[in-house]
Chain A
Amino acid sequence: MDKSQHTDYQSRTFPVREDMPYQLKVWRFERWGWYALVVVVLMALLGLFSRGPLSVREAQSFDRKITVHYEIFHRNGSTNPMKIVVNGQESAPVALELSGDFFDGFSIESMQPEPVKVVSAGQGIRLWLQTDPQGQATLYLMLRGDGLGGYSSRVSGPSSPPLILTQYILP
């Protein structure tokens, strides 16, 4: 239907003064806006705003001694879990260091199990976990995003090269 010919698209002057070309632009904006809303919903479902398949990551050090399960996208004020699995000697303390921008952007709400010892080390902390008879120790952290933007954290063991994790906190 040719818009310029159809009488519906002609601007009336009584009882209100209309501007149909402008109104058509407004309606077009509404339609495209609706498509944008759908895209935002899909992105959120996929996890691009935290908590979803695209946000969950697993990183492993080269020597496979440290494995970290974490979320790339976080929201300011909201909490997300992080799981760190460390391999070391059986039934002995194994050291783990969290440094980099980690504590600039996040605060640790909870840490399970309680580490054997925790000390501050440079920009971050160093902690010792007791391994099980198989030589594995798992640390469950609940992180709260307090900052904004990108943060590069380092997770390292005594002999392993550091794992660099990049995380983003959304407002």
Chain B
Amino acid sequence: MDSVLRAAAMYVALMILFKIAGRRSLAELTTFDFVLLMIIGEATQQALLGDDFSLTNSIVVIVTLIALDVGFSLLKRRSSIVSRLIDGEPTILVENGKILQERLRHARLIEADLMEAARSSQGIETVEEIKFAILERNGKISVIRREDN
């Protein structure tokens, strides 16, 4: 019984904590952020398995997590409110070469983050070349290049 409760509690706790951390925490950023995510994974595993490393316990925990995940994705299909609550929505950060500074501030981002995404995805050099830069639900910044008239 405790395996299922641990797995469920951990699933919900992580969902809430990552919601607090914001969208960028899930996108792979610097090497340090990547290592931090791995450490969080390790800490989670310790809490889920405790000192019980049996096959049964592992499988029960994995089954519980997958069941919850599938359950939530079914719930998301049925209700757009739940879907928005769990996954969030994309947000436009740059519009026609102009950075929307207030939105950048709320999203806890800096211009360097935007330009890094622009350079790596589109080879863009300046902000003026960006038509739209959108912070997607998964934390990645997608950039649409401005067409030359």
Partners in one complex: yes
Most buried by B among A6, A16, A18, A33: A16
CA distance A24 to B103 in the complex (A): 9
Q: Nearest Cβ in chain B — how far from A144, in angstroms?
A: 10
Q: Is the CB of A8 within 8 A of B101?
A: yes
Known A15-B132, A77-B50: A33·B101 in contact at CB below 8 Å: no
In the complex, what residue of chain A is closest to B107 when comparing beta carbons?
A27
Q: Is the CB of B144 within 8 A of A29?
A: no
Q: Is the CB of A23 within 8 A of B19?
A: no
Is B92 part of the binding interface, using a Cβ–Cβ cutoff of 8 Å? yes
Known A12-B92, A16-B92, A23-B89: A29·B19 in contact at CB below 8 Å: yes
B1-38 interface mask toward A, CB cutoff 8 Å, 1 = contact, 0 = none? 00000000100000011011110000000000000000
In the complex, what residue of chain B is closest to A33 when comparing beta carbons?
B20
In the complex, which residues of chain A have a beta carbon less than 8 angstroms from the beta carbon of B102? 1, 6, 8-9
Q: Is the CB of A23 within 8 A of B91?
A: yes
* B interface residues, tally (CB under 8 Å): 25
Chain B contacts to A: CB under 8 angstroms: 9, 16-17, 19-22, 50-51, 84, 88-92, 95, 100-103, 106-107, 132, 134, 144
In the complex, which residues of chain A have a beta carbon less than 8 angstroms from the beta carbon of B88? 26
Q: Is the CB of A27 within 8 A of B50?
A: no
Is A59 part of the binding interface, using a Cβ–Cβ cutoff of 8 Å? no
Contact of B20 among A6, A12, A22, A29 (CB under 8 A): A29
In the complex, what residue of chain B is closest to A12 when comparing beta carbons?
B92
* A interface residues, tally (CB under 8 Å): 23
In the complex, which residues of chain B have a beta carbon less than 8 angstroms from the beta carbon of A77? 50-51
In the complex, which residues of chain B have a beta carbon less than 8 angstroms from the beta carbon of A18? 89-92
Q: Is the CB of B91 within 8 A of A34?
A: no
Q: Nearest Cβ in chain B — how far from A124, in angstroms?
A: 25
Is A36 part of the binding interface, using a Cβ–Cβ cutoff of 8 Å? yes
Contact of A12 among B17, B84, B95, B106 (CB under 8 A): B95
CA distance A34 to B88 in the complex (A): 18
Q: Nearest Cβ in chain A — how far from B111, in angstroms?
A: 15
In the complex, what residue of chain A is closest to B85 when comparing beta carbons?
A26
In the complex, what residue of chain B is closest to A1 when comparing beta carbons?
B102
In the complex, which residues of chain A have a beta carbon less than 8 angstroms from the beta carbon of B22? 30
In the complex, which residues of chain B have a beta carbon less than 8 angstroms from the beta carbon of A30? 19-22
In the complex, which residues of chain A have a beta carbon less than 8 angstroms from the beta carbon of B16? 33
CA distance A8 to B95 in the complex (A): 10
CA distance A19 to B88 in the complex (A): 11
In the complex, which residues of chain B have a beta carbon less than 8 angstroms from the beta carbon of A37? 17, 20
In the complex, which residues of chain B have a beta carbon less than 8 angstroms from the beta carbon of A1? 102
Give 10 closest A-B pairs by Cβ, nearest first: A33-B20, A8-B102, A27-B106, A16-B90, A8-B100, A12-B92, A30-B22, A8-B103, A77-B50, A30-B20
CA distance A30 to B19 in the complex (A): 7
CA distance A147 to B62 in the complex (A): 24
Q: Nearest Cβ in chain B — how far from A23, in angstroms?
A: 6
Beyond A1-B102, A7-B100, A15-B92: 10 further Cβ-contacts under 8 Å?
A8-B102, A16-B92, A16-B134, A18-B91, A19-B84, A19-B89, A24-B106, A26-B88, A30-B20, A33-B20
